């Protein structure tokens, strides 16, 4: 099993990280996710890290990369299920995960993404109004 599966759920993609992200696997995940966002037109990427108990700067960078790449394709990234110990490590390592939103669990992450999409739509409509008037 040499690929991390990406599940499409409505407008979102869900990835569960259960194994250690070594170099090749991480690169493949980045590439697969970006391809999948582009192919499905997904508006959000949910990354569940509830099975991850140890985080290092490499993993932090991979998640940051995914968020930046997805953002370029107009998809938001939400990391869910972070263990308290991982949050402590991230802060102690000074890793900021720029562009990454977080939520307590998948359900809350989905709500967050739904909210962002609705907010985007409202903004678009408001823009339309301005153009029309």
Burial class (CB in 10 A: 0-12, 13-18, 19+), 46: buried
* Nearest residue (CB) to a second copy, 16 versus 70: 16
* Nearest residue (CB) to a second copy, 52 versus 90: 52
Helix, strand and coil in the chain, % to nearest 5: 55, 15, 30
Footprint of a second copy on 19-78 (CB under 8 A): 19-20, 48, 50-53
Give the interface segment with a second copy, choosing from 58-66, 92-100, 105-113, 115-123 (CB under 8 A): 105-113
9 binds a second copy per the rule CB under 8 A: yes
The CA distance from 16 to 79, in Å, is 10
CB of 133 to a second copy, least distance (A): 40
């Amino acid at each position: 099993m040499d690929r991390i599966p990406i599940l499409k759920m409505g407008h979102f993609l869900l990835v569960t990280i259960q194994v250690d992200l070594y170099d090749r696997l991480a690169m493949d995940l980045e590439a697969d996710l970006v391809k999948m966002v582009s192919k499905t037109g997904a508006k959000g990427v949910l990354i569940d890290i509830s099975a991850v108990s140890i985080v290092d700067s490499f993993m932090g960078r991979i998640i940051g990369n995914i968020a930046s790449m997805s953002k370029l394709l107009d998809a938001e990234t939400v990391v869910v299920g972070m263990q308290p110990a991982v949050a402590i490590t991230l802060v102690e390592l000074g890793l900021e995960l720029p562009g990454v939103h977080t939520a307590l669990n998948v359900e809350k992450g989905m709500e967050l993404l739904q909210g962002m999409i609705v907010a985007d739509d409202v903004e678009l409509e408001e823009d339309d109004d301005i153009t029309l008037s």
